[in-house]
Amino acid sequence: MPLHNADIVNIFEEIADLLEIKGENPFRIRAYRNAARTITDLPQELRTLVDEETDLTELPGIGKDLSEKIREILKTGTAQALEELRKELPGGITELLNIPNLGPKRVKVLYSDLNITSPAELKKAAEEGRISRLPGFGEKIEKHILDSIAAKADTSRRFLRASVVPYAEALADHLRKGPGVKTVTIAGSYRRAQETIGDIDILVVAASKSPIMDRFIEYDEVTEVLARGTSKSSVVLRTGVQVDVRVVPAKNYGAALHYFTGSKAHNIALRRIGQQKGFKVNEYGVFRGDKQVAGKTESEVYKTLGLSFIDPELRESRGEIEAARKKTLPKLVELNEIRGNLHGHSTWSDGHHSIQDMAEAAAEAGHEYIAITDHSKSLTVAHGLDEKRLRKQIEEIDKVSQAVKGIAILKGIEADILENGDLDLPDSVLKELDVVIGSVHSKFKLSAEKQTERILRAMDHKYFTFLAHPTGRLLLSRDPYEVDLPRVIKHARERGCYLELNANPQRLDLNDTACQMAREEGVLVAINTDAHSIQDMHLLRFGIGQARRGWLEKKNVLNTRSLKELKKLLAAVRG
């Protein structure tokens, strides 16, 4: 059974979690976490690299020991180091680390004092009031634990879309190679580029005698068959995600693709329009009486109902149907329209590659410019830059700019926004930069009023360029901090600064509705990778998906501008 990168990441993360609970060497733990991040961001499958005899130690954070472990995992499906740790500690104990406020030290106390090894046992102990009596906990944390467990239950079957991509695309490719198969399309929330998905829907057009369902059921990553039929089958893959495959006739394909792409609210709205026009709209087509009048293609469905074609990312019943009726739908931004990345890190802080490596990778990706924006001094865990080191980096960028041709390297910083709204570096050095990003990395629990005022004060700083990952969320693991985002967006318009859409799949921050608000307010959005390695360059595709869900066009995106146009906009923002 072939292993994907995500499987290796899960093993490394579990090793790191168990080592942390045991209180092992933090450098060893960090090595596993850094390796997991590197592998997560890889655009290629590790098994392919190994087959091609690539030296894995050339990857950032992958030394000889971890390289050998990767090969071991690809060969055996596990790592001996993990199996040994599982003998010492229950494997399920790592699930406790996903609950806010439960770091390794507290998990260790819960395990040693109450023998708690799962969220279910934790929930029971909290309901019985036993957690609050432990040292370092208390009633407030006990209540927060219960709230967090309840919230997590709502997302327990959700997966980051990006984590599902290799599995979904590999399965789709497998089905396309089947005899008699004509068309294979991944539909559902996956096609709409939602941040997280619950399952995968795949539509197939195939010849009547095609053994497509056998090919699906017998796929080597299937661990459970939920249903098997001639036109629909359902399975669970090894990663835990459910996949439904439907075989449809070519004449119904467009209607079925529309129906199974969704969203439900969008489909209901279209059925109502059909009813008003005397049509019946369903997954089989558009009918007048018993006669099918459309349904072979999606465009045909929309045209019959008097609408322009609506891109899948817009189908959320948030004004797209009225826009389609009026022919005012946006021309959504495309990946190839991005001219550069304005948020990236190097080895000067917590990045894995040098400034020159990052610039060369950006040039190879066809970009016109890249901004180096390492962390500032307050983020000590990321080896943030103080004024002295930042000035040295400025000199380094000047040298690298002479060495690397074909791309402009902009000077920047990701400055921490302090609790009082100040940036953590002085104006004397900030004024020398092209890009000053403001970010919240601490004090996430401030009230909405205080957090909002903190951010607004930072945005008023004369050298402030844009607000990074504006709500601080991490999908499926950390809720956004409380902030009045509409007020922040309006203030950005008034101040003349910009906002970021962070393309890291764990963030995708701004969300789609906030992107739409920014568009309506006339605030430009920078779609950035927040790259910490050259492999992160490919993350832009996920940011583009989010931007399209937020109705953003090329003109709404800051970094679709040429270098000359960008420099004018960066200069104009300075107060």
- What are the backbone dihedrals phi and psi of residue 189, each rounded to the nearest 5 degrees, phi first? -65, -25
Q: Are residues 120 and 182 in the same domain?
A: no
Q: Are residues 321 and 343 in the same domain?
A: no
What was the pLDDT predicted at 153? 60
What was the pLDDT predicted at 91? 65
Q: Are residues 136 and 51 in the same domain?
A: yes
CATH number for the domain that contains residue 540: 3.20.20.140
Is 259 part of a structural domain of the chain? no
Which residues lie closer than 8 Å to 566 by C-beta, 6 or more apart? 339, 340, 369, 558, 559
Q: Are 298 and 257 in contact (CB under 8 A)?
A: yes
CATH number for the domain that contains residue 174: 3.30.460.10
Short-list 292, 215, 224, CA closest to 253? 292
Which spans in 283-319 are helix H? 298-304
Q: Are residues 178 and 226 in the same domain?
A: yes
Is 255 part of a structural domain of the chain? no
563: which 2 tokens?
A: 């270098």
The pLDDT tens digits of the residues spanning 424-457 come to 999 999 999 999 999 999 999 999 999 999 999 9
Q: Are 547 and 333 in contact (CB under 8 A)?
A: yes
Q: Are residues 145 and 240 in the same domain?
A: no
Q: Are residues 191 and 166 in the same domain?
A: yes
Phi-psi region of 122 (alpha: psi -120 to 50; beta: other; left: phi over 0): alpha
CATH number for the domain that contains residue 53: 1.10.150.110
Is 258 part of a structural domain of the chain? no
- Continuous segment of H or E residues that includes residue 565: helix 563-572
Coil, helix or strand at residue 360: helix
Number of domains within the chain? 4
Rounded to 5°, the CA angle 494-495-498 comes to 105
- The number of C-alpha atoms within 13 Å of 344 and in the hemisphere containing its C-beta is 33
Q: Which amino acid is at 297?
A: T
What was the pLDDT predicted at 135? 86
Question: How far is residue 510's CA from residue 501's CA, in Å, rounded to a whole number?
Answer: 5
What is the biggest distance separating any 2 CA atoms in the chain, rounded to whole angstroms? 77
CATH number for the domain that contains residue 287: 3.30.210.10
Q: Which amino acid is at 387?
A: E
Q: Which amino acid is at 513?
A: T
Q: Are residues 96 and 141 in the same domain?
A: yes
pLDDT in tens, the chain (575 residues): 568 888 899 899 889 988 988 888 888 998 999 899 889 878 888 999 999 999 999 888 899 999 999 999 999 989 999 999 988 887 678 788 778 767 778 888 898 899 898 888 999 999 999 999 998 888 888 888 888 777 666 555 789 999 999 999 999 999 999 999 999 999 999 999 999 999 999 999 999 999 999 999 999 999 999 999 999 999 999 888 999 999 999 999 999 999 999 999 999 999 999 999 999 999 999 999 999 999 999 999 999 999 999 999 999 999 999 999 999 999 999 999 999 999 999 999 999 899 999 999 999 999 999 999 999 999 988 899 999 999 999 999 999 999 999 999 999 999 999 999 999 999 999 999 999 999 999 999 999 999 999 999 999 999 999 999 999 999 988 889 999 999 999 999 999 999 999 999 999 999 999 999 999 999 999 999 999 999 899 999 999 999 999 999 999 999 999 999 999 999 999 86
Question: How far is residue 460's CA from residue 491's CA, in Å, rounded to a whole number?
Answer: 9
The four Cα atoms 456, 461, 466, 469 give a dihedral, to 10 degrees, of -50
Omega of the bond leading into 148 within 30 degrees of 0 (cis) = no
- The domain boundary residue, chosen from 154, 186, 218: 154
Q: Are residues 311 and 349 in the same domain?
A: no
Is 200 part of a structural domain of the chain? yes
Helix, strand, coil percentages (3-state) for the chain, rounded to 5, are: 50, 15, 35
Short-list 88, 152, 144, 89, CA closest to 120? 152
Q: Are residues 38 and 149 in the same domain?
A: yes
Place of tokens 């198969």: 181
Q: Are residues 105 and 135 in the same domain?
A: yes
DSSP state of 480: P
DSSP 451-515: HHHHHHHHHTSTT--EESSTT--BTTTBPPPP--HHHHHHHHHHHT-EEEEE--TTT-BS-HHHH
- The domain boundary residue, chosen from 326, 348, 370: 326
What was the pLDDT predicted at 119? 87
Coil, helix or strand at residue 247: strand
The four Cα atoms 157, 535, 353, 160 give a dihedral, to 10 degrees, of -10
Place of tokens 């007020």: 487
Coil, helix or strand at residue 52: coil
Q: Are residues 107 and 232 in the same domain?
A: no
Question: How far is residue 548's CA from residue 331's CA, in Å, rounded to a whole number?
Answer: 9
Burial class (CB in 10 A: 0-12, 13-18, 19+), 328: exposed
Burial 63-81 (b: 16+ CB within 10 A, else e): eeebbebbeebbeeeebeb
Is 253 part of a structural domain of the chain? no
544: which 2 tokens?
A: 């583009």
- Continuous segment of H or E residues that includes residue 409: strand 408-416
Helix axes 5-22, 26-40, angle to 10 degrees: 160
Which residues lie closer than 8 Å to 237 by C-beta, 6 or more apart? 167, 171, 221, 222, 223, 243
Omega of the bond leading into 263 within 30 degrees of 0 (cis) = yes
The four Cα atoms 231, 232, 233, 239 give a dihedral, to 10 degrees, of 130
Is 401 part of a structural domain of the chain? yes
Reported pTM: 0.84
- Continuous segment of H or E residues that includes residue 85: helix 80-88
Is 257 part of a structural domain of the chain? no
- The domain boundary residue, chosen from 181, 212, 247: 247
Q: Are 106 and 137 in contact (CB under 8 A)?
A: yes
Q: Which domain holds residue 37?
A: 5-154
Is 239 part of a structural domain of the chain? yes
Q: Are residues 317 and 347 in the same domain?
A: no
What was the pLDDT predicted at 337? 98
